[in-house]
Amino acid sequence: MVSFIFKESLRGIRKKPLSFLLSTFAFGLCLLIILIFFLLTYNLFISLKIAYDKIEIYAFLDEKTSFSEIKDKISLINGVEEIRYISKDEALKILKEELKEEASFLENLDRNPLPPSLRIRISPKAKQVDEIKRIEDKLRLIPGIKDVWAGEELISKLVKVLNNIIYIDIGILIVVALSVIFIIFQNIEQSLFNRQREIEIMQLVGATDYFIKAPFYLEGILEGVLGGIFSFILLFIIYRIMSLSAITLSFPTILLLIFTILIGAFLGGIGSNLALNRILK
Amino acid sequence: MIEFDNVSKTYQNKWTALNNVSFTVERGEFLFITGPTGAGKTTILKIIYAEELPTAGKVIVNNKNIATIKKKEISLYRRNIGIIFQDFKLLYDRTVYENLEFVLKAINMKGNEIREKIMRILTRLGLMHKKDCYPYQLSGGEQQKVAIARALVKDPEIILADEPTGNIDEEASKEIINIFKEINLMGTTVVMATHHSELPQLLKKRRLHIVQGKIVDG
Ligand SMILES: Nc1ncnc2c1ncn2[C@@H]1O[C@H](COP(=O)(O)OP(=O)(O)OP(=O)(O)O)[C@@H](O)[C@H]1O
Ligand SMILES: [Mg+2]
């Protein structure tokens, strides 16, 4: 049964090898666009995730205020997870480390201008613009805290960028998916046309719908999978070339390969389905 | 085996192809359907193999009302019917053997059974020596024999033939008709549509003569 379906499917492909090959290539090239956006989005997410995880609220203290005095008050605020005290000396040390060679001008200071500060880590749940704003307002009310920097504008920008990128991805996914489905649709339509006689005979002798349609589904899915593998190979080549020019992207090989094959098979199946539904009532 | 009870068929374009047709075919019978072109012969056959549904009336085949058959049931129902056409409908890129094999595989028959069945039917129709030929290498009569072999290979209880000799010369036609006679002698019910109104008499078989969708004789 399976061998019959396979044989009939291959027979259909062998009747038009060139158009099968070319449409598989076209399919692969279209899919490559999806893959490139997928890869870029994936990498962007990784770097944004790193930035996001680092989010802390900075509270700058009065020089006279002692940490132990206000620590408990801050801990009481909902969403605060950990408080670290940075003394004036530590702040200077951190600044020196960050500036590296350019830090030499700091040597000439006669007085440390940096205030003592607190770095407040907040729970993941509280990492939302509104929540951070709420925590920030509460911090400002605590005597001894001169200034607070929470960077919620930065976070809201990040979220906006992320949302826009997801919208762009979805838009591209839809447009490319439609073109890719159309490629398969046309190919299967041609196969159906080439094999009218076979279909007619099968219907007359009492073959089930499943037997009649399966070779065409198989062809579409096969084309999708082959096109997917082709696009994966192209993506890999592009990735290696970019690595040579020192653009380091993370490349989740297995994830990408599975994603490509699944999406290829899925879109191929849909294309076949549309053609079959249109032509075989 | 086949019973038409007041069957009418009106096509979508409002053309009435059959008008209150009633007849029965017994198991093992050989029935000719004759009549001028456009009389409705093909329509009767199409209704029997559920290609068309009647607009009115009952059609009972093997105790089953085909007038109300569900789409899903059609494939299983047709396995019991062998259909032969004027234009053979062979697959021209496959050999005689492969043409028969295709049909049996399409109805999910097992491999070893397939070979045995094909060999038996090819021997019976004297086609063994042509088993690896392609249809274009065969005469019209031989091609029709292959089509008959293809209809018979799945051992149907009913054979429907629509103008089976329409495309072949007189000599070959006689042979084809004789094959149908033999098939019928082995117990298969045969219904044949034809223009040749002298055939029923020649074979001493019952005939149904229709004109403009109405039975006028038989
Ligand atoms: N699918 C269809 N749609 C509309 N009208 C049809 C259709 N099929 C057949 N008809 C009409 O129904 C009538 C009967 O057709 P049918 O094919 O049954 O005749 P027939 O007796 O087989 O003729 P012939 O001897 O020429 O094969 C004809 O007038 C034909 O034009
Ligand atoms: Mg006809």
User: Can you tell me which residue has the tokens 């068929």?
Assistant: B9
Q: Domain spans of chain B?
A: 2-217
Render pLDDT for B111-126 as a digit per residue (tens, 0 to 9). Answer: 889 999 999 999 999 9
Cα–ligand 2 centroid distance for B137 (angstroms): 27
Residue type, B46: K
Mean pLDDT of all residues in B169-194: 92
**Residue A245 Cα, gap to closest chain B Cα (Å):** 54
Task: Tell me whether residue A190 is exposed, middle or buried, using C-beta atoms within 10 angstroms of its C-beta: 0 to 12, 13 to 18, 19 or more.
Answer: middle
Mean pLDDT of all residues in B46-61: 95
* B177 — pLDDT class (breaks 50, 70, 90): very high
**What pLDDT, on a 0 to 100 scale, did the predictor assign at position A71?**
79
Would you call B83 and A197 a contact, using CB atoms and an 8 Å cutoff? Answer: no
**What pLDDT, on a 0 to 100 scale, did the predictor assign at position A48?**
79
- What's the rounded Cα separation, in Å, for the pair A53 and A121? 10
Chain A residues whose CB is inside 8 A of the B77 CB are 206
Phi, psi values for residue B190, rounded to 5° = -125, 130
Residue type, A270: I
Given its phi and psi angles, is residue B65 left (phi above 0), alpha (psi -120 to 50 degrees) or beta? beta
Nearest-by-CA chain A residue for B48: A204
CATH 3.30.70.3040 in chain A, residues?
56-150
Report the b/e string of B82-103 with b at 16+ CB within 10 A.
Answer: bbbbbebbbbeebbbbbbbbbb
Instruction: Please list the ranges in chain A whose pLDDT falls under 70.
Output: 103, 106
Ligand 1, residues B4, B10, B11: which to mutate, most atoms within 8 A of Cβ? Answer: B11
Please, are residues A219 and A12 in contact by the beta-carbon 8 Å criterion?
yes
Strand-by-strand arrangement of the A80-86 sheet: A80-86, A117-122, A56-61, A145-149
Count Cα neighbours of A17 within 13 Å in the Cβ-side half-sphere.
1
Residue B209 has pLDDT above 80, yes or no: yes
Would you call A206 and B77 a contact, using CB atoms and an 8 Å cutoff? Answer: yes
**What pLDDT, on a 0 to 100 scale, did the predictor assign at position B98?**
96
For chain B, positions 60-99, list CB contacts with chain A under 8 A: 72, 74-81, 83, 89, 91
Chain B residues whose CB is inside 8 A of the A216 CB are none
Residue type, A58: Y
Chain B residues whose CB is inside 8 A of the A211 CB are 106-108
Render pLDDT for B118-164 as a digit per residue (tens, 0 to 9). Answer: 999 999 999 999 999 999 999 999 999 999 999 999 999 999 999 99
Nearest-by-CA chain B residue for A2: B108
Residue B107 has pLDDT above 80, yes or no: yes
- What's the rounded Cα separation, in Å, for the pair A265 and A31? 12
Beta-strand ranges (E) seen in B42-198 are 56-61, 64-65, 81-84, 158-162, 189-194
Interface check B53 vs A, CB under 8 A: no
Rounded to 5°, the CA angle A62-A63-A67 comes to 80
B59 - beta bridge partners?
B4
Please, are residues B7 and B48 in contact by the beta-carbon 8 Å criterion?
no
For domain B2-217, give the CATH number.
3.40.50.300
Phi, psi values for residue A270, rounded to 5° = -65, -45
Query: Of the bound ligands, which one is closest to the alpha carbon of residue B162?
Result: 2
Please, are residues A200 and A228 in contact by the beta-carbon 8 Å criterion?
no
CA distance to A33, A167, A276, B67, per residue, from A174 (Å)? 12, 11, 22, 45
Render pLDDT for A180-208 as a digit per residue (tens, 0 to 9). Answer: 999 999 999 999 999 999 999 999 999 99
Beta-strand ranges (E) seen in chain A are 56-61, 80-86, 117-122, 145-149
**Residue A218 Cα, gap to closest chain B Cα (Å):** 16
DSSP B123: H
* B26 — pLDDT class (breaks 50, 70, 90): very high
- What's the rounded Cα separation, in Å, for the pair A249 and B47? 66
Ligand 1, residues B7, B10, B15: which to mutate, most atoms within 8 A of Cβ? Answer: B15
DSSP B55: S
Beta-strand ranges (E) seen in A75-167 are 80-86, 117-122, 145-149
Rounded to 5°, the CA angle A104-A107-A110 comes to 150
- What's the rounded Cα separation, in Å, for the pair B156 and B2? 14
User: Can you tell me which residue has the tokens 């132990």?
Assistant: A68
**What pLDDT, on a 0 to 100 scale, did the predictor assign at position A136?**
83
Residue type, A35: L
Would you call B106 and A209 a contact, using CB atoms and an 8 Å cutoff? Answer: no
Closest residue by Cα to residue A144 from A114, A113, A115, A112: A115
Closest residue by Cα to residue A30 from A135, A151, A182, A245: A182
Count, residues in chain B? 218
Chain B residues whose CB is inside 8 A of the A203 CB are 75, 78
Mean pLDDT of chain B: 93
User: Can you tell me which residue has the tokens 């274009």?
Assistant: B136
Task: Name all contacts of B107-113 with Cβ < 8 Å and 24+ positions apart.
Answer: B107/A205, B107/A206, B107/A207, B107/A211, B107/B79, B107/B154, B108/A1, B108/A4, B108/A208, B108/A211, B109/B154
Residue B52 has pLDDT above 90, yes or no: yes
A80 - beta bridge partners?
A122
For the record, the structure tokens of A214 come out as 């399966």
Q: For domain A56-150, give the fold.
A: Alpha-Beta Plaits (3.30.70)
Report chain A residues touching chain B, CB-CB < 8 A: 1, 4, 197-198, 200-209, 211-212
